[in-house]
Structure 1
Amino acid sequence: MWAAVREIIIVVVVALVISLVVKTFFFRAFYIPSGSMEETLQKNDRIFANLMVPGPFELTRGDVVVFRDDQGWLPPIASTVTNPLGEFFAFVGLVPDASNQHLIKRIIGMPGDTVKCCAPDGKLTINGVEITEPYIFPGDAPSEQEFTKVVPEGKLWVMGDHRAESADSRYHEDVQDGFVDISSVEGKASVISWPLDRIGGISNHPEVFSNVPAPKSPAPSK
C-alpha cells in the first residue's frame, strides 16, 4: 500500500514541477474577457501564450501579444472571491490568474515604423506601404481615427482586430503617446486551448506585412 501511495505522490510532485517550469519559462494560460480581438479571439476563449517571446524569439509585426497593463489602460481590478483550489491551479499555470491586469492586442508597428491612417482607400500604411488586414472584424474600418505615429525604440503600436470595440493604442495617446513598452510584453499568444471547438493556433498573418520595408531611419528614442 505504501509503495503505491509513494508512487502516486512522486507522480504528482513531478507533474507539479513540470507545470511550474512550463509556466515560468515556456507557456502561460490567459483568459479573453472582451470582444476586442474578434474574430481571431472570442470572448471567454482560453489561450496559451509563448513566454519565450520576446526573448530567444523576436517579436514581429502581426504577432498577437499579451502585455501587462503597466500604463493603466484598464480600470482598477475589482476584488474577487477565490478558493484554495482555484488559486492552486492559477499558481501552477493551468488556469488564468485573475489577480493580474493584462491586455491582448496585435502588433501593427515595430520600433522605427511609421504607422499612418489612413490612405485614400481607408487602409493603414506602414513605412509608406498599404496593408490589407484580413483579420479585422467584418464591417469594421481599419480605423475611424486618423493618426501618424513613428514608433520609438523599445515601444510597440498595437491595435485590436475588432477595431470598433478595441480601446488600443489609438485611445491612449495621453499615456506615452499610446505606445506599449516591449518590456511589458509577457508573451505571444500561440494557441486557443478552450473551448474545444476552437482549439488551434493563432496566426500572425505574415503575408499582410511581407511587402512592408524596413524603417528608413533608426527608431527615435522616447
Structure 2
Amino acid sequence: MLSLDMENENKNMERKPRFLCLHGFRTSAEIMKTQMHKWPQSVLDKLDLVFLDAPFPCKGKSLVEGIFDPPYYEWFQFNEETTEYYNFDECLQYIEDFMIKHGPFDGLLGFSQGSVLAAALPGLQEKGIALTKVPKVKFVIIIAGIKSRSPLLAEKAYFPPISCPSLHFLGEKDFLKHFGKQLLEYFVEPVAIYHSKGHTVPRLDDKSLNTVMNFIEKIQKDISENNE
C-alpha cells in the first residue's frame, strides 16, 4: 500500500499545468487549437490545454473567413469605441459553469478577445465578482493581449495590480500592440516575449522557447509545492 501511495503522490507532483484556452474574436476553440500547434510539441506536451467555444455565435464578418472554416463565435459584444461591453456577465457565468463542470483549472490562456477575459478574470475573482465557485486562477498566458478600454471593467479588474504569474506575447506588427503593452503595467511581475509578427499566435524561436520553458518550469514547481 505504501508503494501505491508513493506512486499516486508522484503522479500528483508531475501533473501538467491545466489551462482553459479562450480563443479570439469571431473564431472558435478548434481554430485556436490549430493556432497553438505553431508551438513545438515539446512545449505542448508540458501543458494540459482545454479549448472552449465562446457562448455567442458570430454576429458579423469574421476576419478568418477563407482561412479557417466556420462556425465562428464571440465572447461578448461591444460598442464602436470598445468602451462598453454587452452580454459580459452572461459570458463570465458561461465560463464559470464550464470550469465547475470540467475543472479544476490552474490558469487561463487567452488570445485577442479571449485575452481580455484571461487578463481580467484573476482580478475580478480576487474581488469576488467572478469565478466565485471555482479555485483561484494561479497563472495566465496572454497572446496578442488587449487591455480593456471599458472604464468600469478596468477599475474592477486591474486595481490592485494582478499578482499571479503571467506570460505575455507582443507582436511588433500587431495593430493592437499598444493595448497589449498597456496590459503589462497591471501585472506585478509580467514576463514579456516580443516577436516580429502581427496579431497572431507566434512561432517560438530559440530565445522565446527558452522563456516559455522557464515559465512552465516555474508554474510546474508552484503546482508541485502546493501538492505537498
Give the TM-score of the pair, scaled to structure 1.
0.24
Larger radius of gyration: 1
Give the TM-score of the pair, scaled to structure 2.
0.23
